[in-house]
């Protein structure tokens, strides 16, 4: 049963990943990535990490993908040119990716990780559930947890500054006398 689920989820994840790369319309690429993320959540559940699977579905497939869909709808699906700017770029990319795959697999599988060929140890019933992860996050990893929240805040402010509407969008803009802040832009809008 576990093997069947694993292979179903693995095929789903691989198909989603190939879809992201191969589909021409960015909107379909986003949808393929959502399918890929759901398959990965199944794999996380098989690895007895329920909280990471739930976070994957809620945060990634829920929130981040909605952001992508909005931006794709805003920007529109511009057509990519079909011909390669560098001759043989796809061939070289394929070759490089093949060797990368062989190299990563060989490096991991032939390493001295003795336990890699097993199912892993038998874990207690609460392994990877929200209580265990929450205890880890708030006791042992409190500083990285807070650093992550500050990083998110900085990223949100940075995105507002980057994507905020400029007053003089066209032409070479004359430099403003003082550096323009978000607040001034909001006030002068």
Binders of another protein: how many residues, by CB under 8 A? 88
Minimum Å gap between C-beta 177 and another protein is 19
Of 48, 57, 180, 185, the one binding another protein (CB under 8 A) is 48
66 with 60: CB under 8 angstroms?
A: no
Q: Which of residues 6-45 bind another protein (CB under 8 A)?
A: 6, 10, 13-14, 17-18, 20-21, 26, 29-30, 33, 36-37, 40, 43-44
> Considering only CA atoms, which of 29, 38, 51 is closest in space to residue 11?
38
Q: Does residue 85 interact with another protein by CB under 8 A?
A: yes
Q: Which is nearer to another protein, 46 or 185 (by Cβ)? A: 46
Minimum Å gap between C-beta 174 and another protein is 14
State the Cα–Cα distance between residues 8 and 15, nearest whole angstrom.
11
Q: Which of residues 55-74 bind another protein (CB under 8 A)?
A: 55-56, 59-60, 63-64, 67-68, 71-72, 74
Q: Does residue 165 interact with another protein by CB under 8 A?
A: yes
Q: Which of residues 108-127 bind another protein (CB under 8 A)?
A: 108-109, 113, 115-121, 123, 127
Of 66, 73, 93, 182, the one binding another protein (CB under 8 A) is 93
């Amino acid at each position: 049963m576990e093997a069947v689920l694993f292979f179903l989820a693995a095929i789903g994840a691989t198909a989603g990943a190939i879809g992201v790369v191969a589909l021409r319309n960015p909107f379909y690429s986003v949808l393929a990535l959502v399918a890929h993320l759901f398959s990965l959540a199944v794999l996380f559940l098989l690895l007895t990490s329920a909280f990471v699977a739930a976070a994957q579905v809620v945060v990634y497939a829920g929130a981040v993908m909605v952001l992508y869909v909005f931006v794709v709808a805003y920007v529109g699906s511009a057509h990519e040119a079909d011909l390669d700017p560098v001759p043989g770029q796809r061939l070289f990319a394929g070759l490089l990716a093949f060797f990368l795959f062989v190299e990563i697999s060989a490096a991991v599988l032939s390493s001295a990780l003795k336990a890699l060929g097993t199912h892993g140890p038998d874990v207690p019933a609460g392994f990877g559930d929200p209580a265990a992860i929450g205890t880890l996050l708030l006791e042992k990893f409190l500083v990285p947890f807070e650093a992550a929240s500050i990083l998110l805040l900085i990223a949100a402010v940075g995105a507002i500054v980057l994507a905020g509407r400029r007053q003089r969008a066209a032409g070479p803009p004359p430099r403003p006398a003082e550096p323009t802040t978000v607040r001034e832009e909001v006030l002068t809008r």
